[in-house]
Amino acid sequence: MINVGIAGASGYTGVELVKLISNHPKAKLCAVTSNSYKGKSLTDIFPSMRGFENLICEDLDIKSLSKKIDVIFLALPHKVSMQHVPTMLGNNIRVVDLSADYRFTDVAAYESAYQTHTSKDLLKQSVYGLSELYRDRIKTSNLVGNPGCYPTSILLPLLPLLKEGLIQPAGIISDSKSGVSGAGRSLSLSAHFCEANESFNPYKIGNHRHTPEINEILSLHSQQPVSITFVPHLLPLTRGMMSTIYARVTDTATQDKIRKTYDTYYGDEPFVRLLNKGMYPAISHVKGTNCCDIGIHFDETSRQLIMVSAIDNLLKGAAGQAVQNMNIMFGLDDETGLNRVQGPL
Amino acid sequence: MINVGIAGASGYTGVELVKLISNHPKAKLCAVTSNSYKGKSLTDIFPSMRGFENLICEDLDIKSLSKKIDVIFLALPHKVSMQHVPTMLGNNIRVVDLSADYRFTDVAAYESAYQTHTSKDLLKQSVYGLSELYRDRIKTSNLVGNPGCYPTSILLPLLPLLKEGLIQPAGIISDSKSGVSGAGRSLSLSAHFCEANESFNPYKIGNHRHTPEINEILSLHSQQPVSITFVPHLLPLTRGMMSTIYARVTDTATQDKIRKTYDTYYGDEPFVRLLNKGMYPAISHVKGTNCCDIGIHFDETSRQLIMVSAIDNLLKGAAGQAVQNMNIMFGLDDETGLNRVQGPL
Amino acid sequence: MINVGIAGASGYTGVELVKLISNHPKAKLCAVTSNSYKGKSLTDIFPSMRGFENLICEDLDIKSLSKKIDVIFLALPHKVSMQHVPTMLGNNIRVVDLSADYRFTDVAAYESAYQTHTSKDLLKQSVYGLSELYRDRIKTSNLVGNPGCYPTSILLPLLPLLKEGLIQPAGIISDSKSGVSGAGRSLSLSAHFCEANESFNPYKIGNHRHTPEINEILSLHSQQPVSITFVPHLLPLTRGMMSTIYARVTDTATQDKIRKTYDTYYGDEPFVRLLNKGMYPAISHVKGTNCCDIGIHFDETSRQLIMVSAIDNLLKGAAGQAVQNMNIMFGLDDETGLNRVQGPL
Amino acid sequence: MINVGIAGASGYTGVELVKLISNHPKAKLCAVTSNSYKGKSLTDIFPSMRGFENLICEDLDIKSLSKKIDVIFLALPHKVSMQHVPTMLGNNIRVVDLSADYRFTDVAAYESAYQTHTSKDLLKQSVYGLSELYRDRIKTSNLVGNPGCYPTSILLPLLPLLKEGLIQPAGIISDSKSGVSGAGRSLSLSAHFCEANESFNPYKIGNHRHTPEINEILSLHSQQPVSITFVPHLLPLTRGMMSTIYARVTDTATQDKIRKTYDTYYGDEPFVRLLNKGMYPAISHVKGTNCCDIGIHFDETSRQLIMVSAIDNLLKGAAGQAVQNMNIMFGLDDETGLNRVQGPL
């Protein structure tokens, strides 16, 4: 049994972690922390849990935590994570950090998008938690920087084709759409029901903080600087994310090679599902699952490839992938605690 | 042409007033005020208006307003209204107040639900703005206390039957439901998209501030104290309100008499529509209109009457009825500026 | 391991059963049938299941089914169920029927609401599957008539108080609200997105087929004829149901006695949760769970009791309670396969 | 006063036309036809109209219509329109056809996407009803082929830049999203509330019938064959549409030239609104209006231009533009009947 703590349990990502760990057959939820709800029980915050889970939110006291947990999930704001991680590691707590603080290799990229990095040394040791592509390094890691939701939905379809030279690194476009839960549980006019409901809009065109994260990983794997065009939009729904990605293929690419490449990379992966020709993802097909569904359309004439990916932004885009990473870190099958059959509603 | 000002134009009720007055054939929008958006143009706050209306939000300076307007709509918080109304009247500005400050005759009832009343004298002069029932007094009034949304949806079906002795004043129940815009544009967890979406819940059972307002009017018209059971619920939609009301009929009541009574009261009213037997209202039938639809089901055996009413909470429940009242005050037909044909979407 | 079949697996109730049984630790899904999707795999119909469940929908051939299953869930239309059940029982298949065909004791009541009953004899043997109240009889039953969703949400709060004489059997009102999934997956204008979205309306006032079901059970337990006023409404959300129930208490009733009675009946029940004073249910608190949450408000002056209950119409209102009943029939704890911790989204 | 008929008044586009013409200051709604609701009054179909509009749906009898109307809007299925138009014109009824039947110049393009064209001769005479770009020809036309919703949202931002040689005709991508009303009022699983709600998906990638319409118009105006990549998606909302369009600029293009070009084309247009730098459209800003909002982001380094356009699919994308075209045909200002101030909800 893995003893688990969750920091920041009262946000939307935090509570998804609570659900996953509470229901996990090989993990035990031993501690939850919350800044805003200190001293309250989880069921005070989330009445849906009443009768099934009743931990009290405690302070983030690492010494005390270190006595009861093996690993901690940090569902904390950027910047707050890196204030705690060094001490956690020093107390033998393995960390899956869901903030951006340990996702970057390039400090400058992080600092241009976020703020001064106060834990630079650990960037060499931290592993980017895109489970399918970084599994080997995650296995032995003590510190995983769990990917952003948009990057997950974009990197999973792109990386295999870029690595195998089937698409051109230049001119890639991702038109992405996220449900409102992606903005978290804090209050803002754009998350007001009457503003988001029955509407749809792009936001942060040209300056979303997930862009440098995506570009860094793409560049690493294609061995040249890649800079994608990324336009995020806000969907009037609670959970789910879709990226419709446009790329030019290289001369050697064929539909068959593309499908085979995906099969090589993901054929044995439980959570990446390549759809048959003519089939495309829908958010309702992945909601409540840890899956990333990928559908492709290849136009031979224009040599343009359209990749459509869908994830649940709170699962494969956050808490689900974090648990998948914990499974990998502790030698469990990826699917452990994540393989429930899910329906359409 | 009636020269009109709107105080509190940046809230949801305020902006509905802006729309109605801007589109009104006999009124001219001359001034808008906003505390939060002072100095901004309406189109900065509401980009949908760009090219069609472009007033700048100004301070609530009554002297300056009095030079350009005949009437003002106050879409201000309770308590703030009564700080300004005496001066407005003193400056010959007629007032339609959408707060609760001038809805009550009984000061104690107001004070138990809200706060100390600082403009008690005017309560004798102010008229309750339920247009269909108070038209005669509204005509000559300088100060209308525009009804709450729930009270409007409940009083319109109940008053005629109570006044004519067709239902028993005791034991009336209203199970009411409102869209999220009823809570206004300010931020709260319960109005967060992810909390309201795909949910539904009752709130403030036994202590909603509209209860004393409803009871006062019902009591006045039935010449005995009436105390209804009122349970409001929050609907996962933006605009619309429904009240399902249960009452025992008196011995003399028949289906026919009930329908005839409604016909007597509302047969010539453009905005109260009695539905045929077996037909019931839907929020989609009244959304975007100033109508209150009423459907009834009378069970002869149990002598119980079910009245279902639907309104658009922002129109007949607020801004629409306020404009209807302005029309009455200025000798126009009720329908002026409110009689657009509306579709289902 | 219990070997399970599901008839009618392609509807919304059917697919919820597929999820629950697929994820059940003590049951194995051995066969699914579908009239409309015969020969198709579950993942063709429900792509969310791909990689996790892949049975092929077969014909409803009882002989062949009897070789592989111990129990079958019937998510079939009313009337179709009773055409098959006698043969199923004859082939030693235990049955949980989610249609109305075996919910009634009184044939005439069934026939007035539905149609001629063609399996009357079995009505003596079938047990009404309201798990908490009929557990003893369910344990040994071969045929459970699983309750309707509205009846479940209404009977759970009412029965303990009626049986203990704390509320008056006359004049009970249930103002109930259901999500659109309650109407099933078949096509109709009222389930069209653009008609249901942003709307809300009552329907079938005075003639909903769940009324006789509710009345029969209430009458049985209060030993006198009970006839409630029941008004169902359609909510613009996918899953969830709420009933706001109004009753007069008897002279002996006190808030304390009411709470104690609920505690006696449900204190040890995992799936009925009585909320603390001043707390009320929300659909978001029960969505995805098998729980029925109950909040009450007692007005001492008017002697009126308001009970608010919330369930997930597809779980406690259908598939969840059906699985709970299967657990009881096979000697498992009620919670088996139903006790996941659930979050707010 | 223009005497107007509407054929197919019971669909979502039809009823929007009914609203617009009923509320139009210079037009009179004289006749409505409906195949499914023949003999029913509009208020039977759309209770929201009760008391305000009460025409009876009649047969599509052109002789009889010709006595009372000057112009007819055809909200009929493709193929049905062209069966009637020749006779209508022969009877001196001017036609705005909202089907695809008269949108094409190239018969082969129409036939490859739809079916055999049975009214080819009139294609020479019909005018494509993109009001801002074809105003001169619309003025004198008796037959306008009203554009599709997606084409309107895509052509308005693209045409000025293509015509002025500021973007490259090759490699244009439109990632488009439409609300559910775009699929009409007929029943389908994808328009079922529970399937569309809380989901989002692309559809008809590579074979949507609006693609040839878009390509034909783009090609005409850039004097070379243009073939765009067009991916439509289904949004979980009732009305509204957005296209996020990606294009490479030409060597001579600058941000300034782009903005000036838009200003030249649309500066005097009431219904095309270019947003300031850094501002982007939202569906809530155009819902209920006849406007097309356009926001642009120009990345100097990559020389890529992102154009985001938003329309109300039922207004500028259908009924609103149709009325705008009628206004032009009859010498009225474009805004007549279309210039209401609209709010955010």
* Of residues D16, D286, D341, nearest to B343 (C-beta): D16
Q: Look at chain D and count its residues.
A: 345
Contact assessment for residue A234 and residue A190, using Cβ atoms and an 8 Å cutoff: yes
Gap between the Cα atoms of B315 and A184, Å rounded: 32
Q: What is the pLDDT of residues B141-171, one digit of tens each?
A: 999 999 999 999 999 999 999 999 999 999 9
Q: Which residues contact B136 (CB under 8 A, 6 or more apart)?
A: none
Contacts (Cβ under 8 Å, ≥6 apart) of D14: D6, D7, D8, D32, D34, D75
Measured in whole angstroms, how far is the alpha carbon of residue B116 from the centre of its chain? 23
Question: Both A183 and A306 in a single domain?
Answer: yes
Q: Number of structural domains, chain C?
A: 2
A299 and D175 in contact by Cβ < 8 A?
no
Give the count of beta carbons closer than 10 Å to the beta carbon of residue A257.
16
Q: Indicate whether B341 belongs to any domain.
A: no
In the predicted structure, residue D44 carries a pLDDT above the cut 90: yes
Residue appearing with tokens 């946000």: A11
CA atoms within 13 A on the CB side of A251: 0
Residue A112 amino acid letter: S
| Amino acid identity, position B293 | D
In a domain, A338, yes or no: no
Query: What pLDDT is recorded for position A192?
Result: 98
Cα A81 to Cα A72, A115, A151, A324, distances in angstroms = 11, 13, 19, 20
Determine, for residues D341 and B49 on separate chains, whether the beta-carbon distance falls below 8 Å.
yes
The residue type of D170 is A
The mean pLDDT of chain D is 97
Question: What value does the mean pLDDT take over residues C152-181?
Answer: 98
Retrieve residue A109's tokens. Answer: 């990229």
Tokens describing residue D217: 């118009």
Query: Which chain D residues contact residue C12 at CB under 8 A?
Result: 194
CB proximity under 8 Å: B 260-319 to A = none
C255–B contact, CB cutoff 8 A? no
Specify if C78 maps to a domain. Answer: yes
Together in a domain, A117 and A23: yes
The 3-state DSSP class for residue D311 equals: strand
Please report the pLDDT score of residue D301 as a whole number: 86
Query: Where residue A169 sits, what CATH number does that domain have?
Result: 3.30.360.10
Judge whether residue B284 has pLDDT over 90.
yes
D191 with C194: Cβ contact below 8 A? yes
pLDDT of residue B132: 98
C-alpha to C-alpha distance for A321 and A151, rounded to whole angstroms: 12
- Which pLDDT belongs to residue D264? 98
- CA distance to partner chain B, nearest, from residue D240 (Å): 11
Q: Which residue of D has its CA nearest to A232?
A: D244
**Contact check, Cβ <8 Å, C206/B297:** yes
> Mutation test of the interface with chain A: which of D153, D168, D175, D314, choosing the one with the most A Cβ atoms within 10 A?
D175
Average pLDDT over residues A241-257: 97
CATH of the domain at C88: 3.40.50.720
DSSP state, residue A146: P
- Please confirm, yes or no, whether B149 is among the known catalytic residues: yes
What is the average pLDDT value for chain B, to the nearest integer? Answer: 97
Mean pLDDT in residue range B105-130 = 96
Q: Please compute the mean of the pLDDT values over residues A251-260 and round it to a whole number.
A: 96
Strands (E), chain B: 2-7, 27-33, 57-58, 71-74, 94-97, 127-128, 143-145, 173-178, 201-202, 229-234, 241-248, 272-274, 292-299, 304-311
Is residue B32 within 8 angstroms of chain C, CB to CB?
A: no
Q: How is chain D split among helix, strand and coil, in percent rounded to 5?
A: 35, 20, 45
So what's the pLDDT on residue A90? 97
- What does the block give as tokens for A99? 């903030």
Residue C64 has a pLDDT of 96
Chain B CB contacts of C229 under 8 Å are 246, 299, 302, 304, 306
User: Does residue A107 belong to any structural domain of this protein?
Assistant: yes
**Structural domain includes residue C336:** no
Residue count of chain A, please give it: 345
The mean pLDDT value of chain A amounts to 97
Cross-chain CB nearest to D205 (options A194, A282, A306): A306
Query: Is residue C240 a contact partner of residue C312, using CB atoms and an 8 Å limit?
Result: yes
Chain pair A-D, CB pairs under 8 angstroms: 134
Residue D30 φ then ψ, to 5° = -105, -20
A16 with A126, same domain?
yes
Q: Which residue, among D192, D201, D235, would best test binding to C if mutated, counting the most C CBs under 10 Å from its CB? A: D192
H-type alpha helices, B46-141: 62-66, 80-90, 107-113, 131-139
pLDDT higher than threshold 90 for residue A301: no
Same domain, C217 and C138: no
- For residue A204, give how far its alpha carbon lies from the nearest alpha carbon of chain B (Å): 18
Q: How far is CA A318 from CA A202, A213, C50, in A?
A: 21, 15, 21
Query: Tens digits of per-residue pLDDT, C123-140?
Result: 999 999 999 999 999 999
Q: What rounded mean pLDDT belongs to chain C? A: 97
With a CB cutoff of 8 Å and minimum separation 6, the contacts of D101 are: D78, D79, D81, D82, D85, D110, D114, D117, D119, D145
- Distance of alpha carbon D33 from its chain centroid, rounded? 21
> pLDDT at residue D73 above 90?
yes
Answer yes or no: are the C-beta atoms of B246 and B230 closer than 8 Å: no
Listed in sequence order, the DSSP H helices in chain D are 12-22, 42-45, 62-66, 80-90, 107-113, 131-139, 149-163, 193-196, 210-222, 255-266, 283-286, 319-329
Percent of chain B exceeding pLDDT 90 equals 99
Residue position matching structure tokens 């990689």: C51
Picking from B177, B195, B201, B285 by the largest number of C CB atoms within 10 A of its own CB, the best residue to mutate is B201
B269 and B325 housed in the same domain: no
* Per-residue model confidence (pLDDT) at position B286: 98
Q: Are residues D157 and D300 in the same domain?
A: yes
Residue C188 makes CB contacts below 8 A (sequence gap 6+) with D187
Contact at CB, B48 and D273, closer than 8 angstroms: no
Assess if residue B344 is contained within a domain.
no
Phi, psi of A111 (to 5 degrees): -65, -30
Nearest residue to D70 (alpha-carbon basis) of D128, D28, D132, D115: D28
pLDDT band at C169 (very low <50, low <70, confident <90, very high): very high
User: Measured between alpha carbons, how far is B131 from B323 in angstroms, rounded to an integer?
Assistant: 10
Do B83 and B193 share a domain, yes or no? no
Q: What is the pLDDT of residues A159-210, one digit of tens each?
A: 999 999 999 999 999 999 999 999 999 999 999 999 999 999 999 999 999 9
Q: Report CB contact under 8 Å: B196, A193.
A: yes
Write out pLDDT tens, residues B252-281. 999 999 999 999 999 999 999 999 999 999
> Which chain A positions have a beta carbon within 8 Å of D308's beta carbon?
202, 205, 231
CB contact under 8 A, A193 and B192: yes
Residue B328's pLDDT band (cuts 50, 70, 90): very high
pLDDT confidence of residue B118: 96
CA distances from B174 to B247, B263, C167, D42 (A): 9, 22, 20, 32
- What's residue A37's pLDDT? 96
Residue range(s) defining the domain that contains residue C274: 150-311
| Domain match, C92 and C66 both | yes
Q: What is the mean pLDDT of residues C290-296?
A: 98
pLDDT, mean of residues A274-298: 98
How many Cβ atoms are within 10 Å of B50's Cβ, its own excluded? 19
Q: Out of A195, A200, A229, name the one closest to residue D235 (CB).
A: A200
Task: Indicate if A306 and A158 belong to the same structural domain.
Answer: yes
pLDDT, mean of residues D266-282: 97
CB-based contact, D198 to chain C, within 8 Å:
yes
The pLDDT value recorded for residue D200 is 98
pLDDT at D156: 98
Residue C300: band (very low, low, confident or very high) from pLDDT cuts 50, 70, 90: confident
Question: Does B189 lie at the interface with A, CB-CB under 8 angstroms?
Answer: yes
Q: How far apart are alpha carbons A215 and A226 in whole angstroms?
A: 6
Give the distance from residue B152's alpha carbon to the nearest chain D alpha carbon, in angstroms: 19
**HEC states along D13-45?**
HHHHHHHHHHCCCCEEEEEEECCCCCCCEHHHH
B:219-248 residues touching chain A, CB 8 A cutoff = 236-238
Residue C326 CA to residue C36 CA, distance in Å, equals: 26
Confidence band of A300 (pLDDT split at 50, 70, 90): confident
Give how far A236 is from chain B: nearest CA, Å: 8
Q: What is the mean pLDDT of residues A146-170?
A: 98
Residue D289, SS3 per DSSP: coil
Tokens representing C30?
Answer: 């051995």
pLDDT 10s digits, B285-303: 999 999 999 999 999 889 9
Q: Is residue A341 included in any domain, yes or no?
A: no
The residues pairing with B192 across neighbouring beta strands, listed in sequence order, are A192
D133 and D260 share one domain = no
Tell me the percentage of chain A whose pLDDT exceeds 90: 99
What are the pLDDT digits (tens) for C191-226? Answer: 999 999 999 999 999 999 999 999 999 999 998 999
Confidence band for A124, pLDDT divided at 50, 70 and 90: very high
A59-111 pLDDT, tens digit each: 999 999 999 999 999 999 999 999 999 999 999 999 999 999 999 999 999 99
Position A170 scores a pLDDT of: 96
Q: How far is D285 from chain B (nearest CA, A)?
A: 4
What is the predicted pLDDT for the residue at C276? 96
B337 assigned to some structural domain: no
pLDDT tens digits along C62-111: 999 999 999 999 999 999 999 999 999 999 999 999 999 999 999 999 99
Both D282 and D177 in one domain: the answer is yes
pLDDT number for residue D120: 97
Q: Catalytic amino acids of A?
A: 149
Same domain, D302 and D179: yes
Separation of alpha carbons C324 and D24, rounded Å: 60
- What letter does residue D276 receive in the DSSP assignment? P
Taking CA atoms, B123 is separated from B144, B322, B327, in Å, by 10, 18, 22
β-pair type (A57-58, A71-74) = unpaired
Taking CA atoms, what residue in B is nearest to D16? Answer: B343
Residue among D23, D275, D339 whose CB faces B340 most closely:
D23
Cross-chain residue pair D242–A175, CB shorter than 8 Å: no
Instruction: Give pLDDT, residue C77.
Output: 96
